[in-house]
Amino acid sequence: MSKRAVILAGGKGARLRPYTVVLPKPLMPIGEFPILEVIVRQLSSHGFDRITMAVNHQAEIIKAFFGDGEKWGVHIDYSLEDVPLGTMGPLKLINDLPEHFLVMNGDILSDLDFSDFYHSHVESRSLFSIASHVREELVDYGVLKVKDGQLMGMEEKPRVCYEVSMGIYMLSKDVLRHIPEGANYGFDLLMRDMLSAHLPVRVIRHDGYWLDIGRPDDYVRAIDEFDAMRQRFLHV
């Protein structure tokens, strides 16, 4: 079965400045590879044979690095945004998307089984599936519980858990009808509109590894951990 992926690689990487002044964020190195190459290698190993990169900022650098994808055993093509279109808007520029396809950010380091995620979505007959991860954060303050100006309790430096989107999605083609043409339209807006229309959205929790290297702290952590965990990400 042919499997298609769209990688969103057009962001300016503002959160990672000054690193991204020279390189586009998807080409930021993790060990010996740019993060986007890690993703391409993973998708190839999970049976994805065609990848479309949605590019904008420093697009020519990304094109020069990846070419047609022959080096990684996949066919890579490019969709160029003339203006920023958010996370979901670029999909309207791609005219030949199949019935089911994967969409993901180009700055994700994870050990998600992309093939299982793909097939789980297809078998569910869902319109949209979100890969999620439980994130735990340390609140570096004493948190006050206050009512009517009076202290009712206090918790010193609590840990807070919350479930977040990993920036990895499976879409069925019918979703494209809900995305406007030529508009800056993000994942958050699509989810709002789908919920308002009472359209079901699946959430599939991933309990393994996940980092968004667009966050400076996570990028540093990814650099520190990648080499020791290389087998987990690349199976080589």
pLDDT confidence of residue 127: 95
Domain harbouring 51, CATH code: 3.90.550.10
pLDDT of residue 140: 85
Report the C-alpha gap between 46 and 52 in whole angstroms.
16
Domain containing residue 54: 3-234
Report pLDDT for 22: 56
- In the chain, what is the straight-line distance between the N-terminal and C-terminal CA atoms, in Å? 24
Q: What is the pLDDT of residue 40?
A: 97
pLDDT by 10s per residue, the chain, length 236: 789 999 999 766 455 454 545 577 788 888 889 999 999 999 999 999 999 999 987 889 999 999 999 999 999 999 998 888 999 999 999 999 999 999 999 999 999 999 999 999 999 988 999 999 998 888 888 999 999 999 999 998 888 899 999 999 999 999 999 999 989 999 999 999 999 999 999 999 999 999 998 878 888 888 899 988 988 998 75
Q: What is the dihedral of CA 84, 88, 94, 96, to 10 degrees?
A: 180
| C-beta of residue 8 within 8 angstroms of C-beta of residue 87 | yes
Q: What local confidence, expressed as pLDDT, does residue 84 receive?
A: 84
**SS3 of residue 178 by DSSP:** helix
Q: How many domains, the chain? A: 1
Q: 83: buried, middle or exposed (CB in 10 Å: 19+, 13-18, 0-12)?
A: exposed
Kindly list the distances between the CA atom of residue 9 and the CA atoms of 25, 77, 83, 115, 228, in Å, as whole numbers in the listed order. 8, 12, 13, 21, 26
